């Protein structure tokens, strides 16, 4: 059982000099406490949807697991707000000091900074994937067409796993990190290859977002928003192609622009064939 993303709330709306009573939709905020091998590990404030994927992706981002097979069992008790994870092996000693952390949904330093722990799980991304300019714009349009909950509440982040011509999976959450962790968890749970994947994200490209994308092993990230300088330095180092301000018919390529091309290889082959037949 999963709860919805939003709930109804009666409001008094002031607009153009008039006050009216209306029903508004607001995002549901849910606390999920994760136990790993019987130890209380962390409490996350999240949206109560795709919670298994969230737990899997979170544990992978933390470096607790590398594959879905590292999990012996996973049970989410949504009524009580608990997730119980049993691993195939004991928790490593250096993981225990991170127990009972509170992870907020807000943007900013609600999670551990990456210099120590995250450095162990960040990875340089080697992928032959290229994306045409039209494909990048098409993916962002498809992404925004799916963002009904975002537009209704204004308080939900969205992230999608995509291939060059379509979205594969979309997650929503009040926490931007959670939305990305749900994508990571889905890839691990479904054992999806990473080399042909793109991440499309609704928020700004911060260093933490780029870091999470690199942990997934995905080489291209698209956002309709701006990047930060640290995010771009990190993207350069980790070989992540970062596209910002992807809107309608334009975007900025900030790093590893060689992956963004005019035409893909199949298009070029088709042009050659047509030319030879002519």
161 beta partners: 169, 199
Q: Coil, strand, or helix at residue 82?
A: strand
Cβ-contact 205, 217 below 8 angstroms: no
**198 marked as part of a ligand binding site:** no
| Catalytic residue from among 46, 106, 107, 183 | 107
**113 marked as part of a ligand binding site:** no
Is residue 107 flagged as an active site residue?
yes
> For 166-171, what is the mean pLDDT?
97
Closest Cα to residue 111, out of 62, 184, 156, 53? Answer: 62
> For 65-81, what is the mean pLDDT?
97
The residue written with tokens 């992807």 in the block is 246
State pLDDT tens for residues 85-97. Answer: 999 999 887 666 5
| pTM higher than the cut 0.85 | yes
Cβ-contact 201, 210 below 8 angstroms: no
**245 marked as part of a ligand binding site:** yes
Least confident of 4-13, 73-82, 101-110, 187-196: 101-110
Which domains occur in the chain, in start order?
Answer: 30-110 (3.10.20.10), 131-265 (3.40.140.10)
> For 186-208, what is the mean pLDDT?
97
On the CB side of 115, how many CA atoms lie within 13 Å of its CA? 2
Joined tokens for residue 132: 């045409």
**251 marked as part of a ligand binding site:** no
């Amino acid at each position: 059982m999963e709860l919805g993303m939003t709930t109804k709330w009666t409001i008094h709306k002031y607009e153009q000099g008039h006050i009216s009573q209306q029903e508004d939709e607001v995002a549901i905020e849910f606390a999920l406490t994760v136990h790993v091998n019987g130890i209380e590990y962390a409490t996350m404030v999240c949206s109560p949807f795709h919670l298994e994927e969230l737990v899997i992706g979170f544990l992978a981002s933390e470096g607790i697991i590398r594959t879905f097979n590292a999990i012996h069992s996973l049970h989410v008790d949504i009524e009580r707000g608990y997730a119980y994870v049993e691993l195939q092996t004991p928790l490593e000693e250096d993981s225990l000091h991170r127990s009972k952390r509170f992870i907020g949904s807000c943007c900013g330093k609600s999670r551990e900074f990456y210099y120590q722990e995250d450095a162990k799980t960040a990875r340089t991304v080697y992928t032959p994937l290229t994306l045409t300019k039209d494909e990048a714009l098409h993916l962002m349009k498809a992404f925004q067409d799916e963002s009904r909950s975002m537009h209704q509440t204004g308080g939900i982040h969205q992230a999608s796993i995509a291939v060059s011509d379509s979205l594969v999976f979309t997650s929503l959450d009040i926490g931007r990190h959670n939305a990305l962790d749900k994508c990571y968890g889905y890839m691990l749970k479904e054992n999806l290859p990473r080399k042909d994947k793109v991440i499309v994200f609704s928020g700004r490209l911060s260093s933490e977002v780029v870091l999470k994308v690199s942990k997934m092993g995905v080489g291209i990230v698209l956002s309709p928003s701006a990047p930060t300088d640290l995010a771009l330095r990190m993207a350069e180092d980790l070989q992540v192609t970062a596209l910002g301000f992807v809107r309608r018919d334009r975007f900025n390529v900030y790093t590893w622009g060689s992956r963004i091309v005019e035409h893909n290889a199949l298009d070029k082959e088709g042009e050659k064939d047509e030319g030879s037949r002519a």
